[in-house]
Amino acid sequence: MIDTNLSELLNNRYIRYNVLSYIDDDPIQIPHLFSTKEDIEIAAFMSASIAWGLRKTIIHNSLKLMKLMDMAPYDFVCHAGKEDWRTFEGFVHRTFNGTDCVFFLQALQNIFRNHQGLESVFNSGFQQTGDIAGTLQYFRDIFLDIPHLNRSEKHVADVGRKATAKRLNMFLRWMVRTDNQGVDFGIWKEIPTSALMLPLDVHTGNVGRAIGILQRKQNDWQAVEEITDYLRILDPNDPVKYDFALFGMGLNRELK
């Protein structure tokens, strides 16, 4: 049963926070610097991949990555060679270091050269498995299918081990969800918005528990399923639109 007061609260906050000015302080501003599909995808993926910690630092380091790719991420990924990878050896974002960065870019190169691009990989995963958990596992297997150090695997969420996959779910929200306010891109059409899962993090998890739509105490994939299932009751077609509401309420400490 829907709690009408709670539904009204979340819809009100969705309208409040899902606005164009949201981009100004969020890592999604990085892919918004680009206009071509592949540039947007790569900029979004790399920005989402380092999206933990202070948002200001995430944005700074994401922009640094784009500049290292001469603000042409697709062209760079497609044509980079051994000498080009050295440019990234000194890159650091928290525990994501130059080795990880080079591997991520090489994995993207493999995906665009041999798997028809990011959208094709995610679409194939969804077609074969029918849900986002299976899709993320399918993507992970392909992403890791080039030589790499074991240390880099921790930066690619493993839902098979119950990870929340917050960054990958956020990337999917950006790519899949059609947003009339111009925040999310909606450039991928084959994965339905209704299938998306909430990018669960500290803010959305704490707010979810405080307002009673998440009972599980730890942030893991089971918690992602629990909270997203409730949000689907409120809007079966676009459950993750409430990411804006929950994140905004947490970031602005409304519950205090």
Q: What is the pLDDT of residue 3?
A: 83
Rounded to an integer, the average pLDDT of 64-84 is 97
Q: How confident is the model at residue 1 (pLDDT cuts 50, 70, 90)?
A: low
Q: What is the pLDDT of residue 256?
A: 67
Q: What percent of the chain has pLDDT over 70?
A: 99
Is residue 2 predicted with pLDDT exceeding 80?
no
Is residue 255 predicted with pLDDT exceeding 90?
no
Q: What percent of the chain has pLDDT over 90?
A: 95
The answer to whether 148 and 154 have CB atoms below 8 angstroms apart is no
The answer to whether 244 and 18 have CB atoms below 8 angstroms apart is yes
Q: What is the pLDDT of residue 121?
A: 98
The answer to whether 111 and 122 have CB atoms below 8 angstroms apart is no
Out of 1-10, 77-86, 107-116, 240-249, least confident range: 1-10
Q: What is the pLDDT of residue 253?
A: 87
DSSP helix/strand/coil, 93: strand
The answer to whether 86 and 128 have CB atoms below 8 angstroms apart is no
- Quick: pLDDT tens for 42-70: 999 999 999 999 999 999 999 999 999 99
Report the Cα–Cα distance between both ends of the chain, in Å, rounded: 27
Is residue 14 predicted with pLDDT exceeding 80?
yes
- Quick: pLDDT tens for 151-196: 999 999 999 999 999 999 999 999 999 998 999 999 999 999 999 9
> pTM of the predicted model, to two decimals?
0.97
> What is the C-alpha to C-alpha distance for residues 148 and 224, in angstroms, rounded to an integer?
29
Neighbour tally for 133: CB within 10 Å? 17
Domain range summary for the chain, segments of one domain joined by +:
4-251
Is residue 108 predicted with pLDDT exceeding 80?
yes
The answer to whether 247 and 17 have CB atoms below 8 angstroms apart is yes
